[in-house]
């Protein structure tokens, strides 16, 4: 009976492990090997782990700025976890950009933005933040005019 209980607990523990814990090899990410792509003007992102487009999976991305850059009000369909790695990042919530509502996050600071909460930000020059959560990582701009991917009409 005792061996049966132990075996059952081992099977249960194995089933509850995240998939990455069962991988044969582990991944190492070297910052110089990240592939950066534009996110919004003056800001780039790179995938560190996971697939930010694959629904239900986990993702980790890095976001960096070349200079000071405003992040217009937007929201995500899932919770967003933000950790500042370098520089400063300011974040506020609401549907309109309001510099009085910004809170500065310095290296080591962490913020959680709940799903669907409109928020906005300000990247300090040269900052790097790490963002993670459940995919998909989708940016929905409160004002569609703020979407840099939106086709510009002549």
Confidence (pLDDT) at 150: 78
Confidence (pLDDT) at 20: 45
Query: In this structure, how many other beta carbons lie within 10 angstroms of the beta carbon of residue 98?
Result: 12
Confidence (pLDDT) at 15: 46
Q: Indicate if the pLDDT at residue 47 is higher than 90.
A: yes
Provide mean pLDDT across the span 89-109.
Answer: 97
Provide mean pLDDT across the span 126-148.
Answer: 95
Alpha-carbon span 107 to 89, nearest angstrom: 9
Tokens of 24: 């044969």
Alpha-carbon span 118 to 142, nearest angstrom: 7
Distances (CA, A) of 54 to 33, 35, 108, 110, 113: 22, 18, 28, 24, 20
Give the least confident one: 4-13, 73-82, 137-146: 4-13
Any idea which architecture 26-146 has in CATH? Sandwich (2.60)
Provide mean pLDDT across the span 17-26.
Answer: 54
What's the pLDDT band for 58 if we cut at 50, 70, 90? very high
Beta bridge partners of 115: none
> Which strands form 140-141's sheet, in the order they lie side by side?
103-105, 89-93, 119-123, 69-75, 140-141
Beta strand 69-75 pairing with 103-105: unpaired
Higher pLDDT, 20 or 32: 32
pLDDT tens-digit profile of 5-18?
Answer: 555 544 444 444 45
Query: In this structure, how many other beta carbons lie within 10 angstroms of the beta carbon of residue 52?
Result: 21
Measured in whole angstroms, how far is the alpha carbon of residue 75 from the centre of its chain? 12
Question: DSSP strand E in 26-127: where?
Answer: 37-40, 43-50, 58-65, 69-75, 80-86, 89-93, 103-105, 110-113, 119-123
The domain ranges of the chain are 26-146
Provide mean pLDDT across the span 39-54.
Answer: 95
Q: What percent of the chain has pLDDT over 70?
A: 81
């Amino acid at each position: 009976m005792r061996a049966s209980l132990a075996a059952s607990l081992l099977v249960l523990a194995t089933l509850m492990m995240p998939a990455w814990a069962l991988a044969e090899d582990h991944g190492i990410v070297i910052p110089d090997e990240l592939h950066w792509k534009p996110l919004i003007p003056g800001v780039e992102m790179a995938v560190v782990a996971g697939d930010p487009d694959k629904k239900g999976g986990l993702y980790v991305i890095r976001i960096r700025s070349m200079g000071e850059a405003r992040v217009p009000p937007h929201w995500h369909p899932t919770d967003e976890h933000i950790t500042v790695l370098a520089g400063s990042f300011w974040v506020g919530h609401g549907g309109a950009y309001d510099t009085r509502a910004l809170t500065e996050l310095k290296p080591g600071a962490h913020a959680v933005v709940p799903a669907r909460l409109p928020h906005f930000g300000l990247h300090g020059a040269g900052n790097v933040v790490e963002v993670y959560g459940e995919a998909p990582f989708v940016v929905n701009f409160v004002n569609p005019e703020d979407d840099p991917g939106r086709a510009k009409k002549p």
